[in-house]
Amino acid sequence: MYQHTQQFLELAVAVQALRFGEFTLKSGRQSPYFFNAGQFSSGVALHQLCSCYRQALKHADLPFDMLFGPAYKGIPLAASLASEYAQPRVDDPARDLPWAYNRKEIKDHGEGGKLVGAPLAGKVVIIDDVVSAGTSAREAIQMIQTAGAQPAALLVALDREERGQGELSAKQELAKEGIPVISIARLQDLIGFLGQTKNLQQYQQAMLDYQTIWSAS
């Protein structure tokens, strides 16, 4: 497991962004865990989260020019990651990255329009909290392409590695369309993390059972 993956999972449990039990997802599936990125709700937690995003993106070694955050959770993530990149690291020089986001509804006054921030241009990384069905990612991809820019990748904190309506996961479907999905952690990382964390080992079997039922081909 990568160091940034371990750090992310420890942080997610500490701020209760990752919880374990019995949860009904939007899809109707009964899940033994729930991930809520809204729990990274302090300056320190958000900074640490974006440090993990930065490390995941660096490890992917993917060229990109700017960041895009889909409304709503992607907005603070894109802003915070752009701010994180403004600071130099020993293994990663500072970059002044442009970033943008979209509104859910088109504004018909003031500056108007649906897009806010830097003009979409070059290779654009879409940043979000999780990839499930890939719906918000596809909406972002369409906006970026319409603007004449190129979607470079989808960057998420957690890849649930679940199949959608078919046998493939959203990650696999997007990869077939030429859009790589980069994640700080995957479901299999989370399962391994539970097995090595004494006070969380009790949840590992339920996670393995869930993976057996819903994992993608």
Query: Is 104 an annotated catalytic residue?
Result: no
Catalytic residue among 47, 58, 104, 107: 107
**Amino acid identity at 111:** E
Catalytic residue among 109, 114, 123, 176: 109
**Residues, the chain, total?**
217
Residue 47 annotated as catalytic: no
- Catalytic annotation, residues: 107, 109
